[in-house]
Amino acid sequence: MAVRDPIDQREYEPLARDVHGEVLQPGDDDYDEARSIWNGMIDRKPAAVVRPTGAADVMTAVDFAREHGLPLAVKGGGHNVAGNAVCDDGLVIDLCSMSSVRVDPDAQTARVGPGATMADLDHESQAFGLATPAGFNSTTGIAGLTLGGGFGWLSRKYGMTVDNLRSVDVVTADGELVRASEDENPDLFWGVRGGGGNFGVVTSFEFDLHEVGPEILAGLILYPAEDARAVVRHWRDFVADIPDELTVWIVVLTAPPFPFVPDAYHGSPVVAVAPFYAGELADGMALIEPLRTFGDPVADNVEPRPYAAWQQFFDPAYAPGARNYWKSLNFTEFTDETIDASLEYALARPSPETKFAMVHLGGAPSRVPTDATAYPHRDAEFVVNIVARWNDPEQDDDCIEWARNSHDALTEYSTDGTYVNFISERTGEERFAYRENYDRLVELKRKYDPENRFRLNQNVKPAE
């Protein structure tokens, strides 16, 4: 598809006139804020940023980009690690002004704008003791999280984020607003549930909600790094037979200077066991007792706490501005060999900010057929998230190399599948992200975006 040379700034005047929201260009007061995203490695300069106030503005912006042959990027929460939310010399649709959340407590549903974050959704839904599975960091944008599949602390009980999606409104490549659900445009609805931003700009999400909290049981049990192998093996054996209400993750990280962590361990490598239980608190306490009494933990702050507070617990560790490069792999089992290979790299993290997470998933997501949604990884019993984070640009090569080497060392034990939201490269890993659903996504792309207007994503090319 041909892309024309950058257009004169004066050609943006009709766009500014036709939208109700802002149109920002280089030199405008809010331009740098609008082009900034969570990953500090990304520094791109779009020709213009449109901040729509509603679907009509999105339609106008999509039409303008098409008519002028401009690259088009879509920014929801701006949390995508690859930086696909912004582009150079093109048009960015920044959805931050469309962040409303409307909960229907009787129907137990929520209508969510594409600029909303997890914190926005939790704030409104928890007012009624309701929630939907959505991530583990409250600043994450709902739009990008959902379009890539989405999983979090509630997923073992209630499924992936996309498994709780009822409908979407989408502005397609031809600038038309359509509704997609199981009953309307079901092929498009299938595609947006895991196929990323390949098919248009979602201007509204409708989710099912579930009774959660407001108090849940969660916290961290910390062990010194030298206990890592024993702790991870015990975790692997423990989660083999637990109810869906319980989720337990492992994170190798640098001990934070939190009050519950002894001073002697501040800044030291530790292994964190993170249980989360969404059910009767007394039942949860009894259930996780084998975790809390194993070995000799140096800290334990597992306790009843508000669900929304736990969703924000890790926010300081994922603050914006740091440099990030992530990798992810899925596993059907977590063998001793897999554990040893994981810990070889987890215990050699290249920076204090870097984390190595081992996630137990399974549960409800695994009981959904692979072809039910575009998200294909229904066989993922375990997920490894390799989260390289650092602040000094001179560390770029070392940190990226560590992440890639970690990934390569674990690939032989994995399904080869990777979570699309944790891909740091702009291209090249689509087959691993979409797996057996890729060819069907190509057909869908040919129908809804044959010229590949929406290509600044983990792209499905219509020509393949």
The span from the CA of 25 to the CA of 23, in Å, is 7
267-to-255, 257, 258 alpha-carbon distances in Å: 5, 7, 11
| Residues 209-268: tens digit of each pLDDT | 999 999 999 999 999 999 999 999 999 999 999 999 999 999 999 999 999 999 999 999
CB-based contact 1:72 (threshold 8 Å): no
Report yes or no on whether pTM surpasses 0.85.
yes
Domain co-membership, 240 together with 350: yes
- Residue 74: give its domain's CATH number: 3.30.43.10
Is the pLDDT at 87 greater than 60? The verdict is yes
Which band of pLDDT confidence, cut at 50, 70 and 90, is reported for residue 6? low
CA distance to 157, 277, 335, 340, per residue, from 273 (Å)? 19, 13, 18, 17
227 shares its domain with 136: no
Judge if the upstream peptide bond of residue 257 is cis by omega within 30 degrees of 0: no
Asked if residue 14 has a cis previous peptide bond (ω within 30° of 0), the answer is no
Question: Is the pLDDT assigned to residue 164 strictly greater than 80?
Answer: yes
Question: Residue 219 in contact with residue 296, Cβ under 8 Å?
Answer: no
Above 70 in pLDDT, residue 207? yes
Tell me the two tokens of residue 175: 């600038």
Segments forming the whole domain that contains residue 151: 101-212+434-448
Average pLDDT over the chain, rounded to an integer: 96
Count of domains in the chain? 3
Q: Which is more confidently placed, 287 or 10?
A: 287
Q: Can you give the C-alpha Rg of the chain in angstroms?
A: 22
**220 and 242 belong to one structural domain:** yes
pLDDT over threshold 70, residue 42: yes
How high is the pLDDT of residue 1? 52
The answer to whether 281 and 302 are in contact (CB under 8 A) is no
The answer to whether residues 255 and 388 belong to one domain is: yes
Residues 30 and 145 in one domain: no
> At residue 5, does pLDDT exceed 90?
no
Contact 92, 35 (CB under 8 A): yes
Indicate whether 457 belongs to any domain: no
How much of the chain, in percent, has pLDDT values that exceed 90?
95
Answer yes or no: do 276 and 396 share one domain: yes
Q: Domain check: are 13 and 148 in the same one?
A: no
Whether 448 contacts 188, CB under 8 Å: yes
Q: Where are the beta strands (DSSP E) in 162-284?
A: 165-171, 177-181, 201-208, 210-211, 215-218, 221-224, 246-254, 269-277
Among the listed residues 223, 163, 208, the one whose alpha carbon sits nearest the alpha carbon of residue 361: 163
What is the pLDDT at residue 191? 98
Give all strands of the β-sheet with 201-208 in edge-to-edge order: 101-104, 109-112, 201-208, 165-171, 177-181
Average pLDDT over residues 8-15: 85
Question: Would you state the torsion angle of the CA atoms of residues 303, 422, 347, 406, taken in this order, to the nearest 10 degrees?
Answer: 150
Does 427 map to a domain?
no
How far is residue 456 CA from its own chain's centroid?
17
Last residue of a domain, one of 63, 94, 125: 94
pLDDT at 396 over 60: yes
What tokens appear for 231 in the block?
């702790």
Output the six-digit token pair for 13.
């005047």
DSSP state letters, 58-105:
HHHHHHHHHHTT--EEEESSS--TT-TT--SSSEEEE-TT---EEEET
Residue 92: which of 101, 80, 107, 104 has the closest Cα?
A: 80
Confirm whether 151 is domain-assigned.
yes
Residue 4 has pLDDT above 60, yes or no: no
**249, 260, 312 from 301: Cα distances, Å:** 15, 7, 15
